[in-house]
C-alpha cells in the first residue's frame, strides 16, 4: 500500500484464481508512512487493581466514521473514482493492515513505568491489527455470502491466524466481526477484523483459570464438558451438524447469544480438517441466517461474532476453539444498554432466558 502497509489477496474467481492475470495495481494515494501514523499513538498500561493491560490508542480518534457510499474506503478503486484502501478495480477477499491499529509493531518505543511509578508498568502496544473484506460488494453481510465465498473468508482467517500468530510479540489472535450501527460499526462495508494482542486477554485468562481448576478437580476438559452437557440437555441446542453444535449457553449474558463449537477438541481455526472447514461454512451461514430472522420484521440483527482461539503459547492444551456471537438488541428497535450494576460491577442481568432464545432460533430454521 502507499504507506507501506501489507495487503493480501485471497482470490476465488477467474482470471485471478488460475493465475491468468496478475494483480499489479498501484496505490497512488499521498499517504504518510504507516510508522508516522502510529508512532507515539499507542501504548498499553497495566491496571494493578485487575491485572489487565489497557491500550491507549489516541490516533484512532481520527479514523473514518460512516463515510458516504461513494467514499467507501473498503470498496475497490475504480478509474476516476475515490481512491480506497484496495487499489484494484475488483477483488474477491482481501486482508490488510489496519490504517488506525490498536496494536502495531510499527509503533516503536520502550517499556517503562508511568510517572516513574512501579505500580503502572507501560510498554508499546506492539502486535498486529488487520481488516478482512469479505466481498467487494458494498452491501450485504457474511450471512449473504454464498458458501464458496464464505469458505474463502474462512481460509483467509486461517491463513492470517497463522501469520499473525507468528508475529513477534503476539500472544493471542482474535478473529471477529462487528455488524450494525447499534454495535458501533464505523464502516458498513461487509468486513471483519483480526487482532494480534501482545498479551492474553482478560476474558481468556479467566476461562483458562477456570479450565485449569476444572482439570485439577475432575481430570477433564471444561470446554468439552460444557459442550457435552448442552448436547445432553438438548433444549438450548439451536442446530447440530456432523462436526459442530450451536447452543445458547445456560448462563447467557446477552438478549441473543449463541456459541458454536466443534465436536472434536481443537485449539484454533488452523487445526480444523478440510471436512470440518466445509461443515463449518454451512453451520455458520445457517446460524447467521436464523439470527437475521430472530425478530419478526427480519431486521438484520446487529451482532458481535468472535472466534475464541487458544493463545499462541499459553494454555493450548486446555483451551478449545469456539465461536461466541451475541446481540445487544433485546427487541425490535430496543437496544440493551448496560445498567449501572452491569457496567460498574460486571454483575450481569439477562432480560430473557436462554431456553426461550434457543426455542426461537429453532423456530426460524429454514
Catalytic residue among 9, 59, 148, 191: 191
pLDDT for residue 300: 84
Average pLDDT for the chain: 93
Q: Is 191 a catalytic residue?
A: yes
Sorting pLDDT into bands at 50, 70 and 90, what band is 199?
very high
d(CA 14, CA 103): 35
CATH number belonging to the domain at 7-199, selected among 3.30.428.10, 3.90.1150.10, 3.90.79.10, 3.40.50.300: 3.30.428.10
Q: Is the pLDDT of residue 62 over 80?
A: no
Residues 63-106: pLDDT tens digits?
666 678 789 999 999 988 899 999 999 999 999 999 989 999 98
The alpha carbon of residue 245 and the mean position of all alpha carbons in its chain are separated, in whole angstroms, by 19
pLDDT tens track for 241-252? 999 999 999 999
Output DSSP code: residue 361. H
Average pLDDT of the residues in 106-125: 92
Residues with Cβ within 8 Å of 49's Cβ and at least 6 positions away in sequence, in order, are: none
pLDDT at 311 over 90: yes
Residue 297 has a pLDDT of 76
**Averaged pLDDT for residues 254-278:** 98
Share of the chain above pLDDT 70, in %: 97
The pLDDT-based confidence of 230 (bands split at 50, 70, 90) is very high
On the question of a common fold for 7-199 and 203-363, the answer reads yes
Work out whether strand 322-327 and strand 303-308 pair parallel, antiparallel, or are unpaired: antiparallel
Q: What percent of the chain has pLDDT over 90?
A: 78
Name the residue ranges covered by the structural domains of the chain: 7-199, 203-363
The DSSP secondary-structure symbol of 66 reads S
pLDDT in tens, 6-60: 999 999 999 998 888 888 899 999 999 998 888 766 889 999 999 999 998 876 6
Q: How far is the CA of 231 from the CAs of 24, 211, 235, 263, 292, in angstroms?
A: 50, 19, 8, 10, 24
pLDDT at 298: 65
Which pLDDT value is given to residue 64?
64
Judge whether residue 271 has pLDDT over 80.
yes
**E strand intervals along the chain:** 7-10, 42-47, 52-57, 93-97, 112-113, 121-124, 128-133, 172-179, 191-197, 237-240, 244-247, 256-262, 303-308, 322-327, 329-331, 334-335
* pLDDT tens-place string over residues 144-198: 999 999 999 999 999 999 999 999 999 999 999 999 888 888 888 999 999 999 9
Q: Between 283 and 79, whose confidence is greater?
A: 283
Q: Tell me which fold the domain 203-363 belongs to.
A: HIT family, subunit A (3.30.428)
pLDDT at 109: 82
Q: How far apart are the first and last CA of the chain?
A: 43
Q: What is the mean pLDDT of residues 119-128?
A: 94
263, 273 Cβ separation under 8 angstroms: no
Say what the pTM is. Answer: 0.95
Amino acid at each position: 500500500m502507499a504507506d507501506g502497509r501489507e495487503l493480501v489477496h485471497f482470490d476465488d474467481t477467474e482470471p485471478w484464481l488460475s493465475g491468468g492475470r496478475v494483480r499489479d495495481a498501484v496505490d497512488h494515494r499521498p499517504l504518510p508512512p504507516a510508522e508516522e501514523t502510529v508512532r507515539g499513538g499507542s501504548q498499553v498500561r497495566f491496571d494493578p487493581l485487575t491485572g489487565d493491560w489497557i491500550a491507549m490508542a489516541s490516533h484512532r480518534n481520527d479514523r473514518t466514521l460512516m463515510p458516504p457510499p461513494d467514499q467507501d474506503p473498503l470498496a475497490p478503486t475504480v478509474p476516476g473514482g475515490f481512491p480506497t484502501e484496495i487499489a484494484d478495480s475488483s477483488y474477491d477477499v482481501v486482508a490488510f493492515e489496519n490504517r488506525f491499529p490498536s496494536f502495531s509493531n510499527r509503533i516503536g518505543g520502550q517499556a517503562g513505568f508511568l510517572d516513574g511509578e512501579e505500580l503502572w508498568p507501560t510498554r508499546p502496544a506492539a502486535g498486529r491489527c488487520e481488516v478482512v473484506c469479505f466481498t467487494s460488494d458494498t452491501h450485504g453481510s457474511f450471512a449473504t455470502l454464498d458458501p464458496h465465498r464464505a469458505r474463502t473468508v474462512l481460509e483467509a482467517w486461517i491463513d492470517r491466524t497463522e501469520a499473525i500468530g507468528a508475529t513477534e510479540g503476539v500472544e493471542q489472535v482474535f478473529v471477529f466481526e462487528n455488524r450494525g450501527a447499534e454495535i458501533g460499526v464505523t464502516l458498513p462495508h461487509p468486513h471483519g477484523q483480526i487482532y494480534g494482542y501482545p498479551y492474553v486477554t482478560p476474558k481468556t485468562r479467566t476461562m483458562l483459570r477456570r479450565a485449569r481448576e476444572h482439570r485439577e478437580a475432575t481430570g477433564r476438559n471444561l470446554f468439552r464438558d460444557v459442550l457435552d452437557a448442552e448436547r445432553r440437555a438438548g433444549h438450548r441446542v439451536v442446530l447440530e451438524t456432523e462436526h459442530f453444535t450451536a447452543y445458547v449457553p445456560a448462563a447467557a449474558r446477552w438478549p441473543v447469544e449463541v456459541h458454536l463449537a466443534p465436536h472434536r477438541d481443537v485449539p484454533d481455526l488452523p487445526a480444523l480438517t478440510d471436512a470440518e472447514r466445509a461443515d463449518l461454512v454451512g453451520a455458520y451461514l445457517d446460524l447467521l441466517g436464523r439470527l437475521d430472522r430472530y425478530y419478526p420484521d427480519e431486521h438484520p440483527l446487529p451482532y458481535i461474532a468472535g472466534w475464541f482461539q487458544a493463545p499462541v503459547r499459553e494454555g493450548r492444551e486446555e483451551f478449545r476453539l469456539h465461536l461466541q456471537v451475541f446481540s445487544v438488541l433485546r427487541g425490535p428497535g430496543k437496544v440493551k444498554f448496560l445498567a449501572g450494576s452491569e457496567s460498574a460491577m460486571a454483575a450481569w442481568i439477562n432480560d430473557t432466558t436462554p431456553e426461550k432464545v434457543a426455542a426461537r432460533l429453532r423456530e426460524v430454521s429454514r
